[in-house]
A and B are shown apart, each in its own frame.
Chain A
């Protein structure tokens, strides 16, 4: 295959024509960003060492943090309720995908399996991550999102962070 053809194929795949290059991501940590009082969820593609930071609000960070730390709150939090609703009808979260980044807003899809059919539901990444972690479902990101991010200066900043910098969220 000529290089031009390959490039064309890659471009086609990124338009979402049924075949999109995706990478599996691990949640590496949750950090406070004091510059704007928000939190950053850091996802990492362990195979390629790509980082994907996602900015989320305080309550969204709390929902992710509780799941990461396996905390069972005295009362069900919003995403625990969400999980209970799915469990009540044996619907399963099979995966979540961070799909797009437009004007600093991330888009995600939640893939559900229910009654032998698959459903795709539009979501914010914070909700997608909060439900994925509670469901032990894999997290993916479209490579186009990772590519857009890696051009950011933040990439280098994140890579230089020491593990100690990844503080746990106070709950």
Chain B
């Protein structure tokens, strides 16, 4: 995405949502982010089932009969002329990721604290780019990643993506 004003552009790496995986036997989904520039890296984020489904709906560009919560947020923004500029995964503390949503209205930029699931759900609908800071990429929670990769290697290969409930 060109021409957007990034305060610390060198610190941000753009990602896209690659897919949503269902973790067996839990109420959990895994949002798998991949590098936008095609470089090999996947960044998994564990989210709740409802949050994962909200992202999946946007990823599949599914039109629901009634607006879902993030459609409503987008609708608020459209009515009030607020532009959702970008979302950034800004921090990780005790295996919890933190995100910030950058919005602007008539040149007034604001940042809003968000869970990554809400930020990503909104980014897909806006649409706007998703970034992860270099700092978070360095400090990413590898425990989860290793466990996830082990599981993926052993039995998740070929598993279909999350089913809609």
Give the contacting residue for A82; candidates B48, B66, B69; CB below 8 A: B69
Q: Which residues of A in the span 115-134 have a Cβ within 8 Å of any Cβ on B?
A: 119, 121-124, 127
Main secondary structure of the interface of B (DSSP, over half): mixed
Q: Are A89 and B69 in contact (CB under 8 A)?
A: no
How near does chain B come to A66, taking the closest CB pair, in angstroms?
13
Q: Are A84 and B112 in contact (CB under 8 A)?
A: yes
Interface assignment of A160: CB less than 8 Å from any CB of chain B: no
Q: Are A114 and B80 in contact (CB under 8 A)?
A: yes
Closest chain B residue, CB of each to CB of A75:
B115
How near does chain B come to A44, taking the closest CB pair, in angstroms?
24
B contact residues around A168 at 8 Å (CB): none
Interface assignment of A88: CB less than 8 Å from any CB of chain B: yes
The answer for the CA separation of A65 and B101 in the assembled complex, in Å, is: 25
Q: Are B73 and A81 in contact (CB under 8 A)?
A: yes
The answer for the CA separation of A88 and B112 in the assembled complex, in Å, is: 8
Q: Which residues of A in the span 13-70 have a Cβ within 8 Å of any Cβ on B?
A: 57-59, 63
Main secondary structure of the interface of A (DSSP, over half): mixed
The answer for the CA separation of A82 and B71 in the assembled complex, in Å, is: 11
Interface residues on B, range: 20 to 34
Q: Are A89 and B79 in contact (CB under 8 A)?
A: no
Q: Are A81 and B80 in contact (CB under 8 A)?
A: no
Give the size of the chain A interface in residues (CB under 8 angstroms): 28
Q: With A59-B50, A78-B70, A89-B80 given, is the CB distance from A121 to B75 under 8 Å?
A: yes
Interface assignment of B128: CB less than 8 Å from any CB of chain A: no
Q: Are A78 and B118 in contact (CB under 8 A)?
A: yes
Q: Are B80 and A79 in contact (CB under 8 A)?
A: no
What 6 A-B pairs have minimum CB-CB distances, sorted nearest first? Answer: A59-B50, A88-B110, A119-B79, A124-B66, A84-B112, A78-B69
Known pairs A76-B115, A85-B76, A85-B103 / 19 extra A-B pairs, C-beta < 8 Å: A59-B48, A63-B69, A75-B98, A76-B114, A77-B115, A81-B112, A81-B115, A82-B69, A84-B112, A85-B112, A88-B103, A89-B108, A105-B65, A110-B72, A112-B76, A123-B67, A124-B67, A124-B68, A127-B67
Query: Which A residues are within 8 Å of any B CB, using their own CB?
Result: 57-59, 63, 75-79, 81-82, 84-86, 88-89, 91, 105, 107, 110, 112, 114, 119, 121-124, 127
